[in-house]
Structure 1
Amino acid sequence: MAALSLPSTLTHDEAQACLQHLQAGIAQLPAGAAVQIDASALAVFDSSALAVMLGSRRAALGAGRPFEMRGVSAPVLSLARLYGVDGLLTTAG
């Protein structure tokens, strides 16, 4: 399983560059390799962070790779619930 990480700050200003970085990392993985996104460093965020997570999920699943989020904090999960997307962010650890 390949681990990619979210930065400590992920707001609207960082979202596009972060998503492009994650998509590039996913594209470089061997075929069928699972994708794991580590969100444990994420401390400052807004709803754009959810868009990045979901965009990463879409890129992974579109490439036929299993997807998993790790280290998702309670505040991030709470925001995901508020937007109704918590079920799309499979989490572990």
Structure 2
Amino acid sequence: MSNQSTVALPDLVTLHVASGVLQAMSKSLESQTETTATVDAQGLQIFDSSAVAVLLELKRGLAQKGRQLQVINQPPKLLELVALYGVSELLPA
């Protein structure tokens, strides 16, 4: 039985910090052994489309290792951006 651990997105994910957020989140997710990695988006306060890009890149990186990404507690604005960019099927609510 594996312990499901969740990695939280920071409160700020914009173009200026996206690269650092991606690196930190990738490192955190790498240390997990679960087939499905869970990211909690509840803390997101200030973000732009870079947040969507970070999540898509995390998903791609996990898929290369045969793992999946689950994003929980997505704020409404993030769901709107995901829909706007037409990637709802890649980042379902």
TM-score w.r.t. the length of structure 1 is 0.88
In the alignment of these two chains, the number of paired residues is 90
Q: Deviations over 1:22-49 (max 9, x none)?
A: 111122122x532000000001111101
Q: Is the 8 A contact 1:2 1:33 kept in 2?
A: no
Q: Output aligned runs, 1:1-80, within 5 Å.
A: 1-30=4-33, 32-80=34-82
Distance 2:84 2:39 in 1: 21
| Structure 1 unaligned regions, length at least 5 | none
| Larger helix percent | 1
Unaligned runs of 5+ in 2: none
Q: Give TM-score scaled by structure 2 length.
A: 0.88
State the alpha-carbon separation in 2 of the partners of residues 16 and 62 from structure 1: 19
Displaced runs of 4+ in structure 1, greater than 6 A?
none
Match of 1:89 in 2: 91
| Root-mean-square deviation (Å) | 1.2
Aligned 8 A contact 1:2 1:34 in 2? no
